[in-house]
Chain A
Amino acid sequence: MVKLTGSKALFEALKAEGVKHIFGIPGGAIIPIYDALYDVHEIRHILTRHEQGAAHAADGYARALGKQGVCMTTSGPGATNLTTGILNAYMDSSPVVAVSGQVSAQALGTDAFQEADMLSVMLPITKHNFIIHRAEELPSVVKLAFKIAITGRPGPVHIDLPKSVQVSKADFKIPAKIKYEKSPKLEPEAGQIKKAVDMLTKAEQPVIYAGGGVIWSSASAEVVKLAEMLGAPVTTSLLGKGLIPEDHPLALGMLGMHGRMAANLAVTESDVLLAVGTRFSDRSTGDVNCFAPRAKIIHIDIDPVEIGKNVHVDLPIVSDAKRALTAIIKGLRSHARRGRTSKWIERVKKLRRELAPRMDYDEIPIKPQRVIKEIMSVLDENAIIVTEVGQCQMWAAHFCVMRKPRHFISSGGLGTMGFGFPAAMGVKVARPKCNVVNIAGDGSFLMNSQELATVVENKINVVSCIFNNRYLGMVKQWQDMFFQKRRSATCLGKVPNFVKLAEAYNAWGDRATRPSEVAPKLREALRCGKPAVLDIPIDPDEHVLPMVPAGGRIDQMLT
C-alpha cells in the first residue's frame, strides 16, 4: 500500500494496463492529472486540437491494434466534445477508454463552471460508465473499465473523475486481477454446432456473411478455412472488410446498399447464410423482408441482443466467433461429403467476373474509381486505409482490395464525417511502420482538419487523399437520385485551397489533376517525411454506383 493522490494513482493504474499512448487535451478540471502526467515517462501523451479528434484517434488506435485506446479531456465542453467519438466507438464496438475531469464532488449538481452531467450524457453511448466518488476506488474502477471495454463485444467505457478525487490522497493498491461478473458465454452449445454442421453440409448454395466481430475474435483464418471447406463465397460488412483477402477466389466484397452486386445477388440466391460477428445493419440488409429470402440463416454472435434483432434467425449460436467456427470446422471434417457446391462456385465466379466494377477511366477531372485504382497500385498489403464518411468512404469500401484484417478502418454505424483524419492519426501511432492513408472527401476533411497541427507537431506522418468534388457528395447524390436534383445546401463552393491549408500547418501539400499524377504524387507524399495532404479534384457529378435505395431490396440495385 502506498499513499498517492488520485491523479498519480490513475497513471499507476493505466501503466498496469499497459497503456503507452493517450490522446487528449487538458483543461481546468483535469489539471491535477496533467500535473501528474508531467512525471510519467512511460506514456506518450498526444495533444490533439479538439476533443473529438482525441476520441476518434483513440478509436482508430484501438481498431488498428486490437486493444484499448485511451483519450482524456477536461470536464464540461471537453467531455461533451468527446461524445460523437464515443458514440462512434459504441456503434462500431471499439474499446475506447475515456477519462474526463469533473468538478469537485462537493460542487456536483450546482451548475459549477464547466460542469456537465457526464454520467447521464455518457450513459446511453457507452458500454458502461463510471463516476468515481472515493479516491480508493480508482485503481479497481480503471481495471474494470479496461476489462469491460475489451471483454466479449468490445465497446467504449467512460470514467468521470471529480477534481476532489484527483487531489485527495489515499492508500492505493493496484489489483492484479479483478472479478468480472459479466463475462460472456464464449463456448458454443454442442447441439447448435451439430445443427449448423448439418445445415451447412446439406447446403448447395451457402454464403458466409462476416463482420467486425470476426476481426475482434481473431477468427479471419477460420472464416477463410470454412469458406474453402464448404465452397462457400464470403461477403463482409463494412467493418469486416479485409477479414478475407479480397482477391481470394471466394471473396465477394462488401454487402448491401453500396456493396458489390455479386455479393448482393449471391446472398439473395443463397440457401444457407452463415452470418458471423455481424449485426445485419439496415445498410447491409436493405429491405429485411426480401433479404436472403431462400436462405436458412445461422447467426453466430457473442452478444445475445443481436440475435433476431433485425432479421429472423433459424439457428442462433451465442458464442465467440473463433470458437464457434473452429467447432463447425471440426464437425465438418468428419463429414465426407464435399463438392456439392461446385455449380454454385461457378455461378458466383461468373457473377464476380461479369459484375466486376470498372476502374480504368482516363477522364479529367479524374473519376474517383481511377483514383482508388492508382492509390491501390502504390500501396502494399501492409498499408492501412482509413476513411472519412460519404461518397469517398463508399468508393473506398467498394473498390479497395484489402488483404488483411484491421487494415481498413471506417466509421460504420454512426457514419461520422470527420472520423477519418483523427482516426488515421491514432492508427499511425498504433502502427508506425505501416503506411496510413486517409481517404477523405473535402467535406469530411474540413470537419477535423485542425488535427493537421497535431500530426505535424507530433510527426505522425499520415497521408490524406482528398477526393475533392466541392460537394457534400453523398447528400448531393441522394438529391440527384431521389430529390429531383434539388441540390439544397450541398455545394461547398471552391474554397479552401487544400495545398495551401496543408502548407499553412507545415505539412506537405500537393495536387493531382490528371490520372497519371496520382500514383507518383502519392509515392512522394509517403516518402516526404511529413504528414501530407494530396488534393485530388474529381468529377463532381460522379455517383457511388451501384446502389440500393434506402429500404430497397439488395438484389435490385440502381446502376
Chain B
Amino acid sequence: MKTRIFSVLCENVPGVMMRISRPFTRRQINLDSITVGIEPTGLARIILMFKEDDRMAEFMRRVLVRLEPIVSVEVIEPERSIVREVTLLKTRKLNKKQLLKMVQQIERAGGRVLESKNNMVIAELSGEHDEIERVINALGPKILKEVARSGQVLISRVK
C-alpha cells in the first residue's frame, strides 16, 4: 500500500491529537509518523503518515475534515514536497573498528558527530527517511544504543 501524507491544519488545543488519531485507531490504521509544529498564525500543523489504499485514504481525509477543530487537510504527494527527518544517535562503548565504521557512515550520509567521549559517540543525521533508515540498519544494535527521531516533516514545493 502506498504511503499517504496528510498535512492537517488545526486548532492548537488540548485533545486535538486524540480527535485526529482516534478515527485511525477505530479503523486499525497505524500512523507511521506524527509531527506537530505551530504555525505563525497560532494554528497547529500536524503531519500524518500512514499506509492505505486510495479509497480508505480519501475516506479518512473526509473524516478528518469533518472534525470541528480541523481547519483543513491537505493531501501531500511525497514527490511534490520536501520531506526531512532529524535523528540523534548515541552509541555503545565501541572498539576501534566500530568507531571507524560509525564515523564513516555518519559522514558519508552527511551527518556530523556532536560529542565523542570514552569511545562513545553522539551524532546527528538529517535528511530523507529512507537514507536515515539505511544508516541505522547498517550500524545496527551492536553499535547504536539509543536513537531519537523527529518523525518526518515536510513542506510542499514552490509551484
Which residues from chain A sit less than 8 Å from chain B, CB to CB? Answer: 119-120, 123-124, 127-128, 148, 181-182, 303-305, 307-309
**A308 to B58 CA separation, bound complex (whole angstroms):** 10
Task: Choose one: A120, A148, A304, A305; the contact of B68 (CB below 8 Å).
Answer: A148
Q: List 25 A-B contacts (CB under 8 A).
A: A119-B15, A123-B15, A123-B18, A123-B19, A123-B22, A124-B22, A124-B26, A127-B68, A128-B67, A128-B68, A148-B68, A181-B71, A182-B68, A303-B66, A304-B62, A304-B65, A304-B66, A305-B59, A305-B62, A305-B63, A305-B66, A308-B55, A308-B58, A308-B59, A309-B59
Contacts of A181 in B (CB 8 A): 71
Give the 10 A-B CB pairs with smallest separation, nearest first: A128-B68, A305-B62, A304-B62, A305-B66, A305-B63, A124-B22, A182-B68, A119-B15, A123-B19, A123-B18
B59-94 contacts to A, CB under 8 A, are: 59, 62-63, 65-68, 71
**A307 to B55 CA separation, bound complex (whole angstroms):** 11
**A119 to B18 CA separation, bound complex (whole angstroms):** 10
Q: Give the shortest distance, in Å, between A171 (CB) and chain B (any CB).
A: 23
Contacts of B71 in A (CB 8 A): 181
**A530 to B105 CA separation, bound complex (whole angstroms):** 86
Q: Give the shortest distance, in Å, between B53 (CB) and chain A (any CB).
A: 13
Which residues from chain B sit less than 8 Å from chain A, CB to CB? Answer: 15, 18-19, 22, 26, 55, 58-59, 62-63, 65-68, 71
User: SS class of chain B's interface: helix, strand, loop or mixed?
Assistant: helix
**A119 to B16 CA separation, bound complex (whole angstroms):** 11
**Interchain Cβ contacts within 8 Å, total number:** 27
**A173 to B146 CA separation, bound complex (whole angstroms):** 54
**A123 to B15 CA separation, bound complex (whole angstroms):** 9
**A124 to B22 CA separation, bound complex (whole angstroms):** 8
Contacts of B18 in A (CB 8 A): 120, 123
Which of chain A's residues has its CB closest to B69's CB? Answer: A128
Contacts of B58 in A (CB 8 A): 308
**A120 to B18 CA separation, bound complex (whole angstroms):** 8
Beyond known contacts A127-B68, A182-B68: 11 more, CB 8 A cutoff: A119-B15, A120-B18, A123-B22, A124-B22, A128-B67, A303-B66, A304-B62, A305-B66, A308-B55, A308-B58, A308-B59
Contacts of B26 in A (CB 8 A): 124
Which of chain A's residues has its CB closest to B25's CB? Answer: A124
Which of chain A's residues has its CB closest to B26's CB? Answer: A124
Scoring B19, B63, B68 by chain A CB atoms within 10 A of each residue's CB, the highest score goes to B68
**A120 to B62 CA separation, bound complex (whole angstroms):** 22
Contacts of A308 in B (CB 8 A): 55, 58-59
Q: Give the shortest distance, in Å, between A154 (CB) and chain B (any CB).
A: 13
Contacts of A128 in B (CB 8 A): 67-68
Q: Give the shortest distance, in Å, between A229 (CB) and chain B (any CB).
A: 32
**A304 to B59 CA separation, bound complex (whole angstroms):** 9
Which of chain A's residues has its CB closest to B71's CB? Answer: A181
Which of chain B's residues has its CB closest to A182's CB? Answer: B68
Contacts of B59 in A (CB 8 A): 305, 308-309
**A466 to B63 CA separation, bound complex (whole angstroms):** 40
**A127 to B68 CA separation, bound complex (whole angstroms):** 8
**A120 to B14 CA separation, bound complex (whole angstroms):** 11
Q: Give the shortest distance, in Å, between A413 (CB) and chain B (any CB).
A: 15
**A303 to B63 CA separation, bound complex (whole angstroms):** 10
Contacts of A120 in B (CB 8 A): 18
Which of chain B's residues has its CB closest to A127's CB? Answer: B68
Q: Give the shortest distance, in Å, between A533 (CB) and chain B (any CB).
A: 40
**A450 to B58 CA separation, bound complex (whole angstroms):** 46
Contacts of A304 in B (CB 8 A): 62, 65-66
Contacts of B66 in A (CB 8 A): 303-305
**A124 to B62 CA separation, bound complex (whole angstroms):** 16
Which of chain A's residues has its CB closest to B65's CB? Answer: A304
Q: Give the shortest distance, in Å, between A203 (CB) and chain B (any CB).
A: 27
**A407 to B29 CA separation, bound complex (whole angstroms):** 41
Contacts of B22 in A (CB 8 A): 123-124
**A358 to B67 CA separation, bound complex (whole angstroms):** 47
**A87 to B32 CA separation, bound complex (whole angstroms):** 30
Which of chain A's residues has its CB closest to B58's CB? Answer: A308
Contacts of B15 in A (CB 8 A): 119, 123
Q: Give the shortest distance, in Å, between A341 (CB) and chain B (any CB).
A: 33
Which of chain A's residues has its CB closest to B23's CB? Answer: A124
Q: Give the shortest distance, in Å, between A255 (CB) and chain B (any CB).
A: 24
**A182 to B65 CA separation, bound complex (whole angstroms):** 9
